[in-house]
Every structure is written in structure tokens, then in C-alpha cells.
Amino acid sequence: MTKIKKITFKYVEHESFSDLESEDSRLITEAKRAAENAYAPYSGFRVGAAVMLESGIIVHGSNVENAAFPSGICAERTALAYAVANHAGDRPSAIAIAAMNGTVFTSAPVSPCGNCRQMIIEEEYRNKKEIRILLYGEEKILIIESAASLLPLQFDKGSLSLHHSL
């Protein structure tokens, strides 16, 4: 039998920063601050990420580029790797992302790249805790309740087993 399946997901769109809950606006403000610390001389695209941990601690990341281009790393992975290395067991509950083109924040939200999505969902999976994604743009802010929805039919730990289900 052949079946046609459809995957949908819901997300929230806010038009104004003032519509956000205070904890969300605070995390976004931290991501914007982190973008200022990016090292992005090659692309001029400066990204900041802020990860909220269960304990209330916030850790930051920014993109760090390299003359050998593939050696650069994105803001989201910098922040998550820092959280794992320095706050083991303190599970991430949200990540905010903001990006600047040069010195100006993008008007539309910037969504994590595929590599970063893969890393965020690994953290969701192993911690059994959804990670909310807050995407900042000057004219629009998106809130996605779980990173997993950004990567349908994802490859995860379960995929490594012989009899996994998809």
C-alpha cells in the first residue's frame, strides 16, 4: 500500500518585541548582545545565540569564522557546546538567535542552519526536554516550541538501531 503523509507544525509570530513574555525578551536581548562578539570578518554576518538553562543560567555563543572557511562555527553550536562543557546536567530549555548584517540587525528572523538544527535536537533527545527556539528579526519574532519540528524525519540516536521506526 502507498500512503501520502503530511507533516505540519505550528509556530508563533510576534510583530513587536513588546508582545513577548519578559523571559523571552530577555533571552533575545542576550542573543543580540552575543552577536556583537561575533568574529565574522569574511561574511560580515554576525550571529548571536543565547541558551537558557533549566537553572536560569544563560550562556552565549557567537559565530567564529576562520580563513579556512569550513573551520568556522555557528553561534548556536558555540553556545550549546559551551553549555554542555560548562554546565553538564543543566538542561537547555530555550535558545534565542539574532543576526546582524554588518552593524544592523536583520529585519526578518534568521533560522538555524541544518547543522545547528541537528545539534539542537540531539540536546532535546538526550535531555528529554523540548528546546524552544526564539528567532529575532527587527520586524518579526518567531517562536517555535521544539527544535525537532524544524527537522522532520530527523536522523537521531534511534536511527542507529537496526529496528528503528520512522
76 is catalytic: yes
Residues 105-124 that bind ligand THU (CB under 6 A): 112-113, 116
d(CA 147, CA 121): 6
Instruction: Choose the stretch contacting ligand THU; rule: CB under 6 A; options: 5-13, 67-75, 118-126, 146-154.
Output: 67-75
d(CA 127, CA 84): 11
Min dist. Cβ of residue 74 to ligand THU (A): 3
d(CA 34, CA 62): 6
Min dist. Cβ of residue 98 to ligand THU (A): 10
The interface mask with ligand THU, positions 21-50, x = CB under 6 A, is: -------------------x--x-x-x---
d(CA 107, CA 51): 22
Go through 65-98 and write b for each residue having 16 or more CB atoms within 10 A of its CB, e for each that does not.
beeeeeeebbbbbbbbeebbeebeebbbbbbbbb
Provide the 8-state DSSP code for 112. Answer: P
72 counts as binding ligand THU under rule CB under 6 A: yes
* Identified catalytic residue from 21, 23, 65, 76: 76
Q: What is the contact surface with ligand THU in residues (CB under 6 A)?
A: 40, 43, 45, 47, 63, 65, 72, 74-76, 112-113, 116
